Amino acid sequence: MTEKTTAPSGPEITDAGEPGGRPILEIRDLEITFTTGSGDFKAVRDAHLKIMPGETLAIVGESGSGKSTTALAAIGLLPNNGRVTGGQILLDGEDVAHAHEKRLIELRGNTIGMVPQDPMSNLNPVWKIGYQVRETLKANGRPDGPADVARALADAGLPDAERRAKQFPHEFSGGMRQRALIAIGLACAPKLLIADEPTSALDVTVQRKILDHLQTMTAELGTSVLLITHDLGLAAERADKVVVMYQGRVVEAGPSLELLRNPLHPYTQRLVAKAPSLASRRIQVAKEAGIEASDLLTSSDEAKERAAEKAEATAVGAVESEVVPAAKAAVPTDDALIVENLTKVFKLRTGVGRGTDFTAVDDVSFRVPRGTTTAIVGESGSGKSTVAQMVLQLLKPTSGRIVFDGIDTATLDRRQLFAFRRRVQPIFQDPYGSLDPMYNIYRTIEEPLRTHKIGDRASRELKVRELLDQVALPQSAMQRYPNELSGGQRQRVAIARALALDPEVIICDEAVSALDVLVQAQVLNLLADLQERLGLTYLFITHDLAVVRQIADSVCVMERGRLVETGTTDSVFDSPQQEYTRALLDAIPGGKLLLPPEVA
């Protein structure tokens, strides 16, 4: 068993008690410096780690912690403004910290391979998949015929590999593209594979299948794995050892389960406490032990009842003055949203003059009680985001109806629809793409107020300042631009913009899936706090059931456009009725770990 250590200057994982042999990768006192416009910046300092043959080691940390930079240095792929300024990188006993580019090219493929994070940006869109696999085989002196390419793709779990090899990346799903990258990374049977967030953008079920297959392949090849991730639950489930990095330093390291059960460094303790997958597991263990799970959740039922009362009081006045004339005003119900028999059929072209119908949403019905959070979960392609777009009136349903506050939204005229948008606001998945890079933060948040002609310039500026306070951003951020903010800060800006019009319902479409676990936890806590204080109703679209367990009151499970299961969060998690729901729950990273409920 490996000794677990922690130290401010970066602990070294010792191999006491392990079988003898030379590490496939050993990093000693590593220092990496980047040259910036404001001077040199040390991104990694005094880093230590060691990976033995056949072993999987995970580096865990938030964005900017130095985990990916450390991995890129090991394979010699640092950006042009980055360089190793200290320490050693011993790859199979050879120091490659300052190796010549020619030698690094010789090592890549046969000795060290890599599976990068984003498959769409790491596959050439104008080259067929097979050509990109063949390129790797040919560069490393391996047989590169069509059968060899198909074999590499088939080994990575791609069905019908010969046909798939002739397709382009855009013709693959996200999971298939990731499998293609795994095929490229393992095509030459390297001794070490760097997997940099290989499944972070994928659904939990697809993630599990790919990681299972990757684990099988590396075990058969005897390949060591350096896994980069921000999810401590995933790291503990998949890795033999875990190294925790924070602000460029290794702050803790040791066997994965031991580190999870007894974290020593404050930062590791925060990671363990905030990881959604581990929080979900703690709630499950707590319930099995007879402990009230509500004590471990983000907000209490009493708080949500108070929020519902506030929301109803707000909604009564808003219905009379905003959406419909007083003579037609509907009496507010206990449900903020009612979706009945909702169906959406798309026309797909299959050739010149030919087409076929594709049913993306098929006869879906559910209710969202006022002041609560309802989550719609499912894999990519299940139809959950299409439902959200129809609720937001961004897509017109083929059939069925959406009732908001007692009013069928299909009957709204242009003026009433404009007023409806003031009361129902979205928070989108990508904080990078949902903010205009040419607008500073003040203009971004103020824009809805100007669009709806609310207040004068002075009152709008005061409102923006209040919104920044609500989402815990400094008022100095008003003059900054999106590229000057972190991902978590961008998402806070998106939340502030959604709150600008004092809405009653917010549609959160994968609002935290692109964020690190600590930032994700901060945003979830912020959403829960805002719900309690402002009486908001949330429709939460996600593929991550671990997040659902923390924030939702009720759950709707979608599969291939149909609603297959609904219920309270506890009932769905404790007694899932459908095999598909059980598969989603089983795929939560860390869901099978033996954790005491008090771990935090």
Q: How far apart are CA 109 and CA 185, in angstroms?
A: 7
d(CA 326, CA 445): 31
pLDDT at 304: 44
Q: Which amino acid is at 62?
A: E
Indicate the fold that domain 301-586 takes in CATH.
Rossmann fold (3.40.50)
Q: Is the pLDDT of residue 374 over 90?
A: yes
**CA 129/CA 414 separation, integer angstroms:** 47
Contacts of the segment 518-524: beta carbons below 8 A, 24+ positions apart: 518/62, 518/270, 518/271, 518/274, 519/62, 519/63, 519/486, 519/487, 519/488, 519/491, 520/274, 520/276, 520/547, 521/274, 521/276, 522/488, 523/488, 523/491, 523/492, 523/495, 524/276, 524/298, 524/550, 524/551
Q: How sure is the predictor about 94, in pLDDT bands with cuts at 50, 70 and 90?
A: very high
Q: What is the pLDDT of residues 236-262, one digit of tens each?
A: 888 999 999 999 999 999 998 888 888
Q: How confident is the model at residue 218 (pLDDT cuts 50, 70, 90)?
A: confident
**Segment 453-479 mean pLDDT:** 90
pLDDT at 406 over 80: yes
* CATH fold for the domain made of 1-111+190-274: Rossmann fold (3.40.50)
Query: What is the pLDDT, as a whole number, of residue 512?
Result: 80
Residue 274's pLDDT band (boundaries 50, 70, 90)?
confident
Q: How confident is the model at residue 549 (pLDDT cuts 50, 70, 90)?
A: confident
What are 545's two structure tokens?
């059931």
Rounded CA separation 503/419 (Å): 10
Q: What is the pLDDT of residue 426?
A: 92
In this structure, of 2-6, 125-129, 265-269, 575-579, the range with the lowest mean pLDDT score is 2-6
State the pLDDT at residue 184. 93
Question: Of 301-305, 487-491, 546-550, which has the strongest mean pLDDT?
Answer: 546-550
The CATH 3.40.50.300 portion of the chain extends over 1-111+190-274, 301-586
Whether 422 shows a pLDDT value over 80: the answer reads yes
Backbone angles phi, psi at 153, to 5 degrees: -70, -40
- Whether pLDDT at 90 is above 90: yes
Q: Which tokens is 191 given?
A: 């001794």
Is-contact 523 514, C-beta < 8 A?
A: no
Residue among 417, 418, 423 nearest 318 (CA): 423
Q: Residue 58 above 50 pLDDT?
A: yes
What secondary structure does DSSP assign to 197-238, as a single string? STTTTS-HHHHHHHHHHHHHHHHHHT-EEEEEES-HHHHHHH
Condensed to tens digits (0 to 9), the pLDDT of residues 138-172 reads 999 999 999 999 999 998 888 889 999 999 998 88
pLDDT greater at residue 15 or residue 388:
388
Residue whose pair of structure tokens reads 């406490």 in the numeric block: 273
% of residues, the chain, pLDDT over 70: 84
**Region at 37 (left for phi over 0; alpha for psi -120 to 50; beta for the rest):** alpha
Q: Provide the pLDDT for residue 122.
A: 86
Question: Where residue 382 falls among pLDDT bands split at 50, 70, 90?
Answer: confident
Q: Is the dihedral of CA 279, 280, 281, 287 positive or negative?
A: positive
Q: Is the pLDDT of residue 333 over 60?
A: no
**56-65, 171-180, 349-358, 502-511: least confidently modelled range:** 349-358
> 553 is written with which tokens?
């009151």
The pLDDT value recorded for residue 357 is 86
Structure tokens at 295: 């004590």
Residue among 423, 502, 501, 498 nearest 511 (CA): 498
pLDDT at 593: 60
> How far is 33 from 44, CA to CA, in rounded Å?
7
Answer yes or no: are the C-beta atoms of 345 and 398 closer than 8 Å: yes
Identify the pLDDT of residue 211: 85
For β-strands 335-351 and 354-369, DSSP reports them as: antiparallel
Mean pLDDT of the chain: 82
For residue 517, pLDDT beyond 90: no
pLDDT band of 84, cuts 50, 70, 90 = very high
The pLDDT-based confidence of 298 (bands split at 50, 70, 90) is: very low
> What are phi and psi for residue 219, nearest 5 degrees?
-65, -40
pLDDT band at 19 (very low <50, low <70, confident <90, very high): very low
Q: Look at the block and give the residue holding tokens 């058969």.
A: 220
**CB-hemisphere CA count at 13 Å for 339?**
26
The percent of residues above 90 in pLDDT, for the chain, comes to 45
Q: Compute the distance between CA of residue 105 and CA of residue 84 in angstroms, rounded to an integer.
A: 18
pLDDT (0 to 100) of residue 157 = 83
Amino acid at 280: S
Looking at per-residue pLDDT, the higher value among 292 and 415 belongs to 415
CA separation for the pair 253, 341 (Å, rounded): 52
Mean pLDDT confidence for 312-322: 41
* Global model pTM greater than 0.85: no
Q: What is the mean pLDDT of residues 231-238?
A: 84
Helix, strand, coil tally for the chain in percent (to 5): 40, 25, 35
pLDDT at 12: 44
